[in-house]
Structure 1
């Protein structure tokens, strides 16, 4: 369904591979492409191309090609006017047969820096994405594109067609139901900015029926800590505070993905794994509401 009055767009089908679709608004510095998928046990290879047009014959700005051939490797290349460039290769294989993966381009896999591929063609020429081979894709999310209006954003999500929800919304506080609730392997993406003078941000995953807060994430900018907690039956639990880094600071944008597992939430910020939060609510699949408040400007949410 698509409801332009509420700036909410949804498509609940998963397209098959091979896939070829446009990247509306193109690429520029600050745009990221988030992909969720899984690798079959019998994989040979798959590839992802960033194309400079919307046909298979277009120039390829980035060719990303994991190969499982006994000498497992990932090949990087580009192709201009039908001629391939020199291959870059790494034998550090970040994918595993039979396992799910999360990838952020440019190029991060499962939250760890993997490989940097220097631009050979102008970034601004990229207009489409192609995926083919032995891979299953659940989600593609393009974050940070500049489009003239929300209808264009809705068109982009329909064109991608991998079960996305996007909302255009105003200032916080923000509260909305999570379509379908939380379940293992579901990932939410929140993109926003902490303006200068910001002191705190609060993100709550809640059970609407009881108002229990299953997962409370509270970056406190001035203190330099990210507090995690839960409130069940009206009582706050024990705070988690320890972190190896704090990516939240004044005047900075952030891209955050929160992945629900059977035992914990895994939180990534700007492509880096930040922390895990183990479920304290026995029936975590009752979580069906997201609330955001504090000193923050939210530009994008993907359910």
Structure 2
């Protein structure tokens, strides 16, 4: 099994980082951040090198002149191609977001806050991509990489849920990866020679660099692991518990990255409220099923077991839980797997996250 690259935590913006091993079919990149309230635009690029003027395979560019929209494009040999525009933007001013980019054979699949946003067909071979950059009026909490997992999503069938698995050793911390030479951090964001502005959009004045990523509502530091200057925060330990600042609300997203133990029996993710558990998400490997349920006043409701089993023993995973108006949308490894209708309202009463079982964690964004 190939191990995933260490995440980038709280990178200064503008940011340039190496994608270790490049891109492969099935690889995914999760970017969790917050749009600055007075945003004009920002972008995320997947590109073929770190020098100015290099080809950009995927340019994702939310813009806010008039009604917010999102432009995607490709830069080849110094020239931008034909823009693709999405008139409805899921990147809202002042709001947190999780952007998941999944590499497929023919296109990049883009998911935002647990929902499919668009597919962008390859114009430049994804095998050439080795660098990710982020710039503009945005703050980034983490950038997490997941290598391809075993394909196939077998179906289901299960056992009474229980909480309280023994604590597991934390995933050992890895060294951080510094910004690439050739894209040094600087206080502004001037246009680079040979790196033309998008057609019809003149270069903007410099965007001041953000001083890190201060704790925002919904981006608490890992409990017991304050970030140290110059060092990535220690990985969260299992069992894991975190408050959900202000409670859940529509559009809020929780992203969990980790590795399933080789001999795993089960693990669970619980979204809790004062009277019990609003969502108990419980993959069970002996039964090849993911159970979903709600607990009210010490009584479990009816289990839901339909859908696939996207988790595999000994494999890494990315789990995104997005709180929608009527349900939780649950995306595992880039695939929307489950939809669980709310049984607990109002949503702001859901105030904590618990994770336990036969996994180690690499990052949790609440």
| TM-score relative to the length of structure 2 | 0.58
Q: Aligned partners of 1:20, 1:142: CA distance in 2, in Å? A: 13
**Alignment of 1:59 onto 2:54:** yes
Cα separation, 1, equivalents of 2:44 and 2:10: 24
- In structure 1, C-alpha distance between the alignment counterparts of 2:73 and 2:17, rounded to whole Å: 24
User: CA 1:151–1:173 in structure 2 vs 1: closer, same or farther (change >3 Å)?
Assistant: farther
Q: Partner of 1:250 in structure 2?
A: 313
CA distance in 2, matches of 1:149, 1:67: 28
User: How far apart, CA to CA, are the structure 2 residues paired with 1:263 and 1:300?
Assistant: 27
1:193-229 deviation line (CA, Å, top 9, x unaligned): 112111111111112x44x111100011121111000
Task: Give the match for residue 340 of structure 2.
Answer: 277
Match status 1:225 vs 2:289:
yes
Report what 1:33 is aligned to.
30
* Alpha-carbon contact 1:31-1:142 (below 8 Å) kept: no
The answer for the alignment partner of 1:3 in structure 2 is none
CA distance in 2, matches of 1:175, 1:278: 23
Alignment counterpart, residue 104 of structure 1, candidates 100, 103, 118: 100
Pair 1:119-2:125 in alignment? yes
Please give the residue correspondences for 1:1-303 in structure 2 after superposition, counting only pairs within 5 Å.
Answer: 21-24=14-17, 26=19, 28-29=22-23, 30=27, 32-34=29-31, 48-50=44-46, 52-53=49-50, 57-64=52-59, 76-80=73-77, 83-84=78-79, 87=81, 95-97=86-88, 103-106=99-102, 107-110=108-111, 111-112=115-116, 114-117=119-122, 118-119=124-125, 122-124=128-130, 126=131, 128-130=133-135, 141-144=142-145, 148=175, 159=212, 163=216, 164-165=219-220, 167=222, 168-207=234-273, 209-210=274-275, 212-243=276-307, 245-303=308-366
More helix by share: 1
- State the 1:76 CA deviation: 3.4
- Judging by fraction of residues, say which structure has more strand: 1
Q: CA 1:182 to 1:96, structure 2 compared with 1: closer, same or farther past 3 Å?
A: same
Shift of 1:37: 8.4
Tell me the CA shift for residue 139 of structure 1: 6.5
CA–CA separation in structure 2 for the residues paired with 1:158 and 1:291: 30
Question: When the two structures are superposed, what TM-score results if normalisation uses the length of structure 1?
Answer: 0.68
Matched residues in 1 for 2:320 and 2:236: separation?
Answer: 20
1:113-168 per-position Cα deviation (integer Å, ceiling 9, x unaligned): 713424378433x2522358xxxx6867411399515999xx9x964679544533
Report how far residue 262 of structure 1 moved.
Answer: 2.7
Does structure 1 conserve the Cα–Cα contact (< 8 Å) formed by 2:44 and 2:132? no
Paired residue secondary structure (1:246)? coil
Change in CA separation of 1:149 and 1:49 when aligned onto 2, cut-off 3 Å: closer
Unaligned runs of 5+ in 1: 1-8, 12-18
- 1:37-82 Cα deviation digits (max 9, x unpaired): 89xxxx9x9864345448xx452433436899xxx997532345xx
- Structure 1 vs Structure 2 CA RMSD: 4.2
The aligned counterpart of 1:5 is: none
**Which secondary structure does the structure 2 equivalent of 1:144 belong to?**
strand
